[in-house]
Amino acid sequence: DTAVSQTPKYLVTQMGNDKSIKCEQNLGHDTMYWYKQDSKKFLKIMFSYNNKELIINETVPNRFSPKSPDKAHLNLHINSLELGDSAVYFCASSQGSQVHQPQHFGDGTRLSIL
C-alpha cells in the first residue's frame, strides 16, 4: 500500500500552460512538503505545511501555489509554465515538522516543458 502517492508520474506540456500535481499520504502524518529536483539532482525545498498551515515558503515564483485541503493532501498548482520548470517534483510527509523526523517521499512527478 503506497504511503506517499503523487499523480501524475509524468507530465509533458507546453510552455504557458497551467498544470496541477496531486499528493496524498496515508501515514497519518501532519506535515507535508514539496521539493524540486533539477537536472543536476539538487533537491530543494519549496513549501511545507503543518496541519494545513504553511510553515516554509522558500523563494519560489508566485506561479507556484500549494494547496492543502486536509492533512493528508498537498497539491501543487503551477501557472504559466516555463522551460525552467522542467524538473522532478517530490512530495514528502513526516510526523512533526522537525527535520529529525524521517521524511517519507513519493516517487516524484517528472515535468517536461516543451
Partner 1 sequence: QKEVEQDPGPLSVPEGAIVSLNCTYSNSAFQYFMWYRQYSRKGPELLMYTYSSGNKEDGRFTAQVDKSSKYISLFIRDSQPSDSATYLCAMSASGNKLVFGAGTILRVKS
Contacting residues toward partner 1, per CB under 8 A: 4, 40-45, 48, 55-56, 90, 92, 97-100, 102-108
Which three three-digit cell numbers place residue 21?
A: 500535481
Cβ-based nearer residue to partner 1, 40 or 84: 40
Contact 22, 82 (CB under 8 A): no
Cβ-based nearer residue to partner 1, 13 or 103: 103
> Phi-psi bin for 94: left (phi > 0), alpha (psi -120 to 50), beta?
beta
Cβ-based nearer residue to partner 1, 33 or 81: 33
Using a CB cutoff of 8 Å and minimum separation of 24, what contacts does 98-102 make?
101/31
Shortest distance, CB of residue 15 to partner 1, whole angstroms?
Answer: 25
Shortest distance, CB of residue 16 to partner 1, whole angstroms?
Answer: 28
